[in-house]
Structure 1
Amino acid sequence: MTGPLADFPDAAGLSGLDVYPWPTEDGKHGGSPHMHLTCAECYVVVSGRGRLETLGGQGHQTLPLHPEAVSLLDASGAPSDERARARRDLAMEGFNTLKQQWYDGDRAALADFYRAATELVGPRLEQWRKTVTEGPLAAAEASLCQIGALETGDFGHLGTSGVRRIEKPRMQSLGMCGLLHAYYPIRRAVAREELHTGSPAGEPW
């Protein structure tokens, strides 16, 4: 059945992604280098081929992307094409600089970048905590309650079970890596805010 957009299991999110076609300074094309401070992200490739470049504690890595590949990133929108492309190009410049500093043996540069990013997101941390508490943590606690109920022979929660189909969102937004069709409530709300205000609302993480 269809209806109001439902939360995904364990408060996960899902977006369809078409990588930006705009060329980059290295002669390739793709999205904006960006940083994950608290969350994990998984790419499941359904068509096309490319590569994913990362720079972290293990150094610079390049992972191939193709329809048989699943890539997991772990952390242990712009309002117009023009601004999204400018953001991507500036991020590419910074990423390539950090990458070259790493190969030159300058490990402090990446640590300085981490420090600056941590300071930058400081005002958002309370909202992030709220998002985790009301999302993934609440989903995990609900599952534990259901396990506890089953241990006592109580299966009442099964009476509220059901199946929902979520149609592909018609609204498209400009994300960090490309054009997004976001299926989950947080990103859809961000896309609506961008549409109505004409200014980037930023990524939820």
Structure 2
Amino acid sequence: MVTFEGLPGAVAVSHLRVYDWPTEDGLRGGTPHLHLTCSEGYVVVGGGGSVQTLTATGFRETPLSPGALVWFTPGTIHRLVNEDGLRILVLMQNSGLPEAGDAVLTLPPRFLAGPALYREATALPADGTEAEQERAARARRDLAIEGFLALRAAAEAGDPEPLGAFHRAAAALVRPRTGDWRERWQRGAAAASEATRTQLDALADADCGYLAEASVHAERPSTLGRFGMCGRLDVYPG
């Protein structure tokens, strides 16, 4: 019997306290970015704000307040805006891949020409102090805001090419990593789906023996307050 003991459907969860750092357009919040193979969902658990999104169909702003559930598919550029202590449970497809590499920030085009340039602009100092990490996180956030505002302005002016160029650059940046991502998917979402198939087959054959293998899991965050793209993260191992 195939079993899978991760979170349902290989979804991962993080608790996010959205940055309240001011931005050049007078708002406060996180770093605009997109995911290329993962859908992501937000369950708002405190405070208020909004999520700004940009897709080929245009710009949209969705209010966020406690109890709200919002999700979006791969290719959606998203930017969290913090108006009042915004806190979110983030639901991530593919065993948390959005926090493990499936994300490209909306940096200006000059930083998207190759992996080395992009990495230099986005990496946080691994051994840096908290103050050093915060400065690096703010710097990359501000670069991504610059790029996002340019993409939004072009889209609102009826010019789709800058967004299309960003999509192509993002795909090129992550292409070397897709082999590792495929393995993560196979161990996670694909394995979870296969486990359900074998359970359905067993039930159809009047075989409920797998129910005796039931298990319970409980976890605490493995990391508290990590500097993420959109805010400080409490990360569960998943």
Distance of 1:30 and 1:78 partners within structure 2: 18
1:165 to 190, 193, 218: 218
Whole-Å separation in 1 of the counterparts to 2:233 and 2:169:
28
Q: Which amino acid aligns with 1:184?
A: P
Number of the residue aligned with 2:185: 132
Give the total of aligned pairs.
180
- 1:167 Cα deviation after fit: 2.3
Amino acid at match of 1:28: L
State the match for 2:54 in structure 1. Answer: 55
Secondary structure of the equivalent of 1:45?
strand
Query: Alpha-carbon deviations, 1:1-27, whole Å to 9, x = none?
Result: xxxxx6211111000000012111111
- Give the superposition deviation at 1:170: 4.9
In the other structure, the counterpart of 2:148 is 95
Structure 1 residue ranges, 4+ long, deviating more than 4 angstroms after superposition: none
Residue 10 of structure 1 contacts residue 136 of structure 1 at CA under 8 Å; is this kept in 2? Answer: yes
The 8 Å contact of residues 15 and 184 in structure 1, kept in 2 or not, is answered as no
Cα drift, residue 66 of structure 1: 0.5
Structure 2 CA distance for aligned equivalents of residues 141 and 36 of structure 1: 25
Give SS of 1:68's match.
Answer: coil
Q: 1:104 maps to which residue?
A: 157
Q: Shift of the alpha carbon at 1:36?
A: 1.3
Q: What residue identity is the alignment partner of 2:169? A: A
**Aligned residues of 2:43 and 2:70 also touching (Cα < 8 A):** yes
Match of 2:199 in 1: 146
Query: How far did residue 183 of structure 1 move?
Result: 1.1
Structure 1 residue 169 displacement after superposition: 3.8
Percent of residue pairs identical: 43
Q: Compute the displacement of 1:171 (Å).
A: 3.1
Give 3-state SS (helix, strand or coil) of 1:17's partner: strand
Going from structure 1 to structure 2, the CA distance change for 1:168 and 1:126 (only over 3 Å counts) comes to closer
Matched residue type, 1:150: L
> Which region of structure 1 is more displaced relative to structure 2, 158-167 or 12-21?
158-167
The CA distance in 2 between the partners of 1:36 and 1:164, in whole Å, is 29
Show structure 2 runs of 5+ residues with no match: 76-122, 126-132
SS in 1 for 2:47: coil
- Give yes or no for contact 2:51–2:62 (8 Å, CA) kept in 1: yes
**One-letter amino acid of the structure 1 residue matched with residue 63 of structure 2:** P
1:81 is the counterpart of 2:80: no
Match of 2:65 in 1: 66
Distance 2:42 2:147 in 1: 23
